[in-house]
Amino acid sequence: MIHRSWMRSQGFGSDVFDGRPVIGIATSASELAPCNVHLTRVAEAVKRGVWQAGGFPLAFPTMATGETLMRPTAMLYRNLMAMEVEELIRANPLDGVVLLSGCDKTTPAMLMGAASVDLPAVMVTGGPMLNGKFRGADVGSGTHVWKFEEELKAGRMSQEECFFAEGCMARSNGHCMTMGTASTMACLAEALGMQLPGSATWPAVDARRFETAQAAGQRIVAMVEEQLRPSSILTREAFENAIRVNAAIGGSTNAIIHLLALAGRVGVPLQMSDFDALGRDVPTLVNLMPSGKFLMEDFCYAGGLPVVVRRLAEAGLLHPGTVTVTGKSLADNVSDAQCWNDEVITPVTEPFQPTGSGTAVLTGNLAPDGAVIKQSAASPDLLTHTGPALVFDTAEDYHRVADDPDLDVTADTVLVIRGAGPKGYPGMPEVANVPLPAKLLKNGVTDLVRICDGRMSGTGYGTVVLHVSPESAAGGPLALVRTGDRITLDTPGRSLTLHVSDEELVARRAAWSAPESPYVSGYTWLYTHHVTQANQGADFDFLHGSRGPGVPRDSH
Ligand code: FES
Ligand code: MG
């Protein structure tokens, strides 16, 4: 009586308590996360579908980790959101759940939480914004922020022009419409089999975004009857497919961390090196910013992710038989997918970028547990480079001197930014692709090798070595580099080498002590004590694994 009576205060008749599946709709809408704000409307479409199929839909809010406003970084809160999603699903009397996400971290957080409960779940991402349009040209979220910033610094754009441009860039609801982390994770949710085919690319304001949401509402009711759970979908083969699709779409480096964390939740063994090994023979088919020139709207109208999946499957580059939320296999879902623009989604035989140009995983005495570099976003001539290090303990230290005309920096310099790892910052922010020193920009230098234990925005570009593991704050060798040391980046050889003898490094380590953490209580304390390194997904050590959907003890 307690359960029913209070629910009836919302106006439900007693007939909805007839044993039909109760479907939770986890909604990360928030005005503080503009990429997700329209998800309340998406939830209404999901509800229609649930009612249609004979279920009982109940929407509930989750936190929303908005990428643009949260400090020190939204990534600090991905694990908190995942915990919240997991606990809300388990604590409430739900039979299945629809996950509504959009902005970068919200998609992995939802997937991680749902995977650890393992009730039937389907994802509906909120869709990208319409293409940015500025002075007759397409402008991409994120990507053009960095470009405009450089134009402003180099004196080629005025502040007034920048103010005008920012309104032209984000001109509708939706997440970033470049192939940044949000679009990448939406596509990978589809490639993993967790969202309906075609769902990743419909623009947020397109009628078909709501149509696909309604279809997901219908489908989750059937999934409850079939007891189709994330553990049947998120298999090692599904992750291998996602890694290959990530290479084919020129996806974000952040996907590596999120997939590693998600794999940890379902007990699938996955390592950073898998991304190199599995991505190596996959050509990049999708010509989208930041690596290419188009945007998500173009990708959608060209046929979207189903075309990519079909092309990779036909080339023998995917496991075609993985189970998806449709109940059918990944390849069966897209057997009639058609491409309407081969310039946006290129054929495998004439790819936008050749095989082996995707994200490479490097190791060496500077990154014993690995580091990554997105080759397609880098300058080809810098992928193999040796130069003297210019070291900064924090990104702020660099920013303070970046515009100094006397900064001792040349085009050969290897800029090292440390203290930006999961524990060190904390939260592993997207600060690795720091803007170039003004002195070099004025001389026409457009790129510089940068090495960092932090991340780079999925919309960013440059020859930037990321996710150096272990991070400096955890005592990784990055902590021992000194200005003037020579460093070799050898991307084809997959190595990152600090030319300092082992004896010297031992001596430097003896003199090194870990920076003291100012966090003695609160969530950030919990985070710094329990976050794993980037090569393990930067999840909390105590959240690995699935805790299942068991119904907890009675509350009354
Ligand atoms: Fe939200 Fe880019 S800022 S998706
Ligand atoms: Mg981002």
**458 CA: nearest ligand 1 atom:** 2
- Which ligand gives the minimal distance to the CA of 204? 1
The pLDDT, as a whole number, for residue 147 is 85
- Paired tokens of 153: 């610094």
For 479-527, give the secondary structure using H, E and C. Answer: HHCCCCCEEEEECCCCEEEECCCHHHHHHHHHCCCCCCCCCCCHHHHHH
The pLDDT, as a whole number, for residue 376 is 85
- Ligand 2 centroid – CA 105 distance (Å): 8
175 CB within 6 A, ligand 1: yes
Contacts of 337 (CB under 8 A, 6+ apart): 197, 303, 306, 307, 309, 310
Q: What is the spatial distance between Cα 365 and Cα 534, in angstroms, rounded to a whole number?
A: 17
The pLDDT, as a whole number, for residue 132 is 96
Q: What is the spatial distance between Cα 518 and Cα 508, in angstroms, rounded to a whole number?
A: 24
Name the nearest CA neighbour of 127 among 300, 343, 258, 248: 300
Give the chain's mean pLDDT.
96
Q: What's the average model confidence in pLDDT over 29-54? A: 98
The pLDDT, as a whole number, for residue 547 is 97
The pLDDT, as a whole number, for residue 1 is 92
Counting residues of the chain whose pLDDT is more than 70, the rounded percentage is 100
Please determine, for residue 377, whether its predicted confidence score (pLDDT) is greater than 90: no
pLDDT in tens, 525-554: 999 999 999 999 999 999 999 999 999 999
**182 CA: nearest ligand 1 atom:** 4
103 CB within 6 A, ligand 1: yes
Centre a 10 Å sphere on the Cβ of residue 260 and count the other Cβ atoms it contains. 23
- Paired tokens of 519: 């966090």
The pLDDT, as a whole number, for residue 499 is 98
Please determine, for residue 387, whether its predicted confidence score (pLDDT) is greater than 90: yes
Contacts of 472 (CB under 8 A, 6+ apart): 393, 418, 419, 421, 424, 453, 478, 479
Reported confidence tier of residue 149, pLDDT bands at 50, 70, 90: confident
- Ligand 1 centroid – CA 175 distance (Å): 5
- Which ligand gives the minimal distance to the CA of 457? 2
Q: Quick one: residue 135, left, alpha or beta (phi over 0 = left, psi -120 to 50 = alpha)?
A: left
For the four alpha carbons of 105, 131, 309 and 378, in that order, the dihedral sign comes to negative
Angle between helices 236-249 and 305-314 (to 10 degrees): 110
The pLDDT, as a whole number, for residue 32 is 98
Please determine, for residue 358, whether its predicted confidence score (pLDDT) is greater than 90: no
**Residue 159 CA, distance from chain mean position:** 31
430 CB within 6 A, ligand 1: no
Q: Model pTM?
A: 0.97
Around ion ligand 2, residues with a beta carbon closer than 5 Å are 67, 104, 181, 457
* Atom 2 in ligand 1: residue holding the nearest Cα: 176
68 CB within 6 A, ligand 1: yes
The pLDDT, as a whole number, for residue 243 is 98
Reported confidence tier of residue 154, pLDDT bands at 50, 70, 90: confident
- Contact (CB, 8 A) for 388 and 493: no
The pLDDT, as a whole number, for residue 298 is 98
pLDDT in tens, 125-138: 999 999 999 999 99
pLDDT in tens, 411-453: 999 999 999 999 999 999 999 999 899 899 889 999 999 999 9
**246-257: b (≥16 Cβ within 10 Å) or e:** bbbbbbbbbbbb
The pLDDT, as a whole number, for residue 153 is 81
182 CB within 6 A, ligand 1: yes
Q: What's the average model confidence in pLDDT over 478-503? A: 98
- Mutate which of 28, 31, 35, 125 for ligand 1? The one with the most ligand atoms within 8 Å of its CB, which is 35
* Atom 3 in ligand 1: residue holding the nearest Cα: 67
pLDDT in tens, 393-417: 999 999 999 999 999 999 999 999 9
- Which ligand gives the minimal distance to the CA of 183? 1
- Ligand 1 centroid – CA 251 distance (Å): 14
180 CB within 6 A, ligand 1: yes
- Ligand 2 centroid – CA 434 distance (Å): 14
For the four alpha carbons of 135, 139, 144 and 145, in that order, the dihedral sign comes to positive
Q: What is the spatial distance between Cα 200 and Cα 376, in angstroms, rounded to a whole number?
A: 22
The pLDDT, as a whole number, for residue 442 is 87
User: Does the predicted interface ipTM exceed a cut of 0.90?
Assistant: yes
- Ligand 2 centroid – CA 176 distance (Å): 8
- Ligand 2 centroid – CA 467 distance (Å): 15
Please determine, for residue 458, whether its predicted confidence score (pLDDT) is greater than 90: no
Name the nearest CA neighbour of 424 among 379, 360, 467: 467
- Ligand 1 centroid – CA 497 distance (Å): 34
pLDDT in tens, 305-319: 999 999 999 999 999
The pLDDT, as a whole number, for residue 162 is 92
* Atom 1 in ligand 1: residue holding the nearest Cα: 103
pLDDT in tens, 167-214: 999 999 999 999 999 999 999 999 999 999 999 999 999 999 999 999
- Ligand 2 centroid – CA 456 distance (Å): 8
Please determine, for residue 145, whether its predicted confidence score (pLDDT) is greater than 90: no
Contacts of 73 (CB under 8 A, 6+ apart): 425, 427, 428, 429, 430
**142 CA: nearest ligand 1 atom:** 2
